[in-house]
């Protein structure tokens, strides 16, 4: 392949591949949710055809939308600590690169997860004080 054509192909692939990957992931998630719902409905249909009665608790669970799991007490702390570590990692990468032009932008990018993590950790501290 000609190097000039390859140089034109790189930016096109750099844009299209992540978009297609994201679309594929969303498509797979949607497909598997659809398949799970279809299997549950088929099971219910077969049970009704055989004359089995369905418990009311079962019907209530199916009719209500999926609920999010109740957040754990230490969930904010975990997320906060992870985000602080990510922010410090990005900032330290900027320092270790050795390029003067890279330090400022990477420190700025690293400050975003760091500050979000600090906020989540502070939220955890306030909640634990409030619960006591």
Q: What is the DSSP letter of 64?
A: S
Please say which residue of 38, 67, 96 terminates a domain.
Answer: 67
Q: How far apart are CA 10 and CA 119, in angstroms?
A: 39
Please say which residue of 18, 40, 67 terminates a domain.
Answer: 67
Give the pLDDT of residue 70.
Answer: 66
Q: What is the DSSP letter of 98?
A: -
* 62 & 113 share domain: no
* 4 & 61 share domain: yes
Number of domains in the chain: 2
* 90 & 58 share domain: no
Higher pLDDT, 111 or 59: 111
30 token code pair: 């949607």
Q: Could you tell me the residue range of the domain that residue 116 belongs to? A: 69-132
Q: How far apart are CA 120 and CA 128, in angstroms?
A: 12
Burial readout 18-40 (b: 16 or more C-beta within 10 A, e: otherwise): eeeeeeeeeeeeeeeeeeeeeee
Give the pLDDT of residue 43.
Answer: 86
Residue 5: pLDDT band (50, 70, 90) is: confident
Instruction: Judge whether residue 119 has pLDDT over 90.
Output: yes
- Read off the pTM: 0.53
Token match 């992931």: residue? 25
* 58 & 6 share domain: yes
Report how far apart, in Å, the C-alpha atoms of 87 and of each of 13, 32, 97 are. Answer: 29, 34, 16
């Amino acid at each position: 392949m000609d190097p000039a054509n390859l140089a034109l192909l790189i930016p096109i692939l750099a844009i299209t591949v992540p978009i297609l990957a994201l679309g594929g992931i969303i498509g797979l998630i949607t497909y598997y949710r659809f398949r799970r719902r279809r299997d549950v409905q088929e099971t219910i249909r077969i049970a009704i055809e055989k004359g089995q009665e369905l418990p009311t608790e079962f019907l209530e669970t199916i009719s209500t939308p999926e609920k999010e799991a109740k957040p754990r007490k230490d969930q904010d702390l975990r997320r906060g600590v992870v985000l602080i570590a990510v922010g410090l990692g990005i900032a330290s990468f900027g320092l270790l690169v050795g390029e003067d032009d890279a330090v400022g932008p990477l420190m700025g990018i690293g400050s975003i997860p760091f500050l979000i993590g600090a906020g989540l950790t502070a939220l955890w501290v306030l909640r634990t004080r409030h619960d006591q």
